[in-house]
Chains A and B, each alone.
Chain A
Amino acid sequence: MEYLRVEGFRKKFHQTEVLKGVEFTLQKGEILVIIGASGSGKTTLLRCLNFLETPDEGKVYLGGALFSDAAVRYSDRELRKKRLKFGLVFQNFNLFPNYDAKRNVSLACELLARERARAKKRELLAAEQGARWKARRRIAAEIRAMKKEGTAESRARADALLAQVGLQEKRDSFPYELSGGQQQRVAIARALALDPEVLCFDEPTSALDPELTGEVLKVIRGLKGRTMIVVTHEMAFAREVADRVIFMADGVIEEEGTSEEVFGAPKSEKLKAFLKRTEEHGWI
């Protein structure tokens, strides 16, 4: 069943058109790998999906329903809710330097739990119209307990996720105390903490020393079964994990297919040239 559908994405920066009508679909649990030369618009596409940029045109359908439409201006509140459906792992990690690994992972969850508690409080207080102080005290205690529980749950979840990426003993380390590979694994755990419907990766290993890429790719491999979009220059990895592959060139999808089709039997000249170049250099 088609799970994600991106329709007619267009994006211009000043005069240059970076996305010229990109569309694709993705099944639930599939991994889509996006390859393409530098400047072809891969990052821009992921940023549009995560609402860090607004496309000029285009629609996204998620789970069969219209999810977002470039023609609609969403409020900050709506945008926040929509952003939670997508996750993004950045090329250069972007961890929060003022928190240790565990807090990096748990922070967003904790904040959401607190917000839920506050919303609940408003609800309860509204129900108890003109609440007497006794009722107020009961509500306050209930909310405190709820906040505490939310925090504890978020932290427990962070512990579990750090274990999943193989970093439980680094949970008290600050980002500057971690290697690039470890930082990126924390970033992946952080993105998983909110359990997004679609998890995107923007060249997750290209800021790493070659000997550190393996550990990160291993973690991503372990996420198989999640719906993911991975932009990467690691062709061997792409070939191995991709259920579908998109080759982008100059803001359009030049070629698309299964891993075997795209890597085994490329049709377009641009893709052939691109694959040849990557083979020669091992990278782009």
Chain B
Amino acid sequence: MTKFFAVTLELLEGFGTTCYIFIATLLLALPLGLIIAFGSMSRFKPLRYVVRTVVWIIRGTPLMLQIVVIFYGPGLLFGVSGFDRVPSVIVAFVINYACYFSEIYRGGIENIPRGQYEAGLVLGMTKVQIFFRITLLQVVKRILAPMSNEIITLVKDTSLARVISVIEIIKVAEGFTRQGLIWPLFYTGVFYLLFVGILTLLFRYAEKKTAYLKV
């Protein structure tokens, strides 16, 4: 029993790191994704092509590779010291997820009928007013389902951090296998399930809240 508590405590510590990576990634990637989305829809062609190429590269290569490149890349290529482990992971995750989010945003924004935008213009509204007052909420509603998928994937992707030896929950559990304990590894699943369960409830709540928007 005491063993169980000790394991739980250690796993919780690893889970703290997991949550930290998750939250930091989300807070930074959500707005960055929007900026990338605007870039990929820009009427200025060079910008649009550059942004779309970057999105293609990021989405087209494994996240694990990106983590490794960002952590070891600066040192190996330029002989400068890069980020620490956790910041490296967060940078890689933010870039990767911002690109995925940007495509979701883009789909959501492009699907809003152009007529609403024009109606706003004719009424003397600015592009910014139209975006925040009219488009945004509808986009939020439309992207809720794909976003919840992506965000739940992020919860589990945080475990990739262990490739550069960040001590997150799976890494901790792995440590126990060396003591001959296998169950902590399964036990980590409970943490993920609870976390994802809470997120699912939150998303369901958001869906209910935006149900009045028949768009």
Which A residues are closer than 8 A to B by beta carbons?
50-52, 76, 80-81, 83-84, 86-88, 90, 92, 94-98, 107-108, 111-112, 174, 176, 187, 190-191, 193-194
Contacts and interface: CB of A to CB of B under 8 A. Distances in A.
Interface core residue of B115, B116, B123, B137 (most chain A CB under 10 Å): B123
A52 B123 contact: no
Contact of A76 (B115, B118, B120, B126): B126
B62 interface: no
Interface stretch (B21-29, B154-162, B207-215): B207-215
Nearest to B124: A84
Interface string B104-130: 000000000101101111111111010
A194 B123 contact: yes
B59 interface: no
Contacts of B129: 111
A107 B214 CA distance: 19
B125 A97 contact: no
Give the dominant DSSP class at B's interface. Answer: helix
B126 A80 contact: yes
A90 B113 CA distance: 13
B119 A94 contact: yes
Contacts of B124: 80-81, 83-84, 108, 112, 194
Contacts of B213: 97-98
Shortest 10 CB-CB distances between A and B: which pairs? A108-B123, A94-B115, A176-B214, A94-B119, A84-B124, A88-B122, A98-B137, A97-B215, A96-B134, A80-B124
B138 interface: yes
A174 B215 CA distance: 11
17 contacts: A51-B121, A52-B118, A76-B126, A76-B127, A81-B124, A83-B122, A92-B115, A94-B116, A94-B119, A95-B116, A96-B120, A96-B134, A97-B116, A98-B137, A107-B133, A111-B133, A174-B212
A137 B162 CA distance: 54
Contacts of B127: 76
Contacts of B116: 94-97
Contacts of B123: 83, 107-108, 190-191, 193-194
A276 B84 CA distance: 80
Interface core residue of A86, A94, A112 (most chain B CB under 10 Å): A94
Contacts of B125: 80, 108, 111
A83 B117 CA distance: 14
Given A92-B115, A194-B123, 19 more contacts: A50-B122, A52-B118, A80-B124, A81-B124, A83-B124, A88-B122, A94-B113, A94-B119, A96-B116, A96-B120, A97-B116, A97-B214, A98-B138, A98-B213, A107-B133, A108-B120, A174-B212, A191-B122, A193-B123
Nearest to A193: B123
Nearest to A79: B121
B138 A97 contact: yes
A130 B59 CA distance: 52
Interface in B162-215: 212-215
Nearest to B114: A94
B122 to A, nearest CB: 5
A87 B124 CA distance: 10
A96 B113 CA distance: 10
B115 A90 contact: yes
A187 B118 CA distance: 13
Nearest to A82: B124
Nearest to B127: A76
B137 to A, nearest CB: 5
Contact of A174 (B121, B122, B214): B214
Contacts of A52: 118, 121-122
B215 A98 contact: yes
A143 B86 CA distance: 47
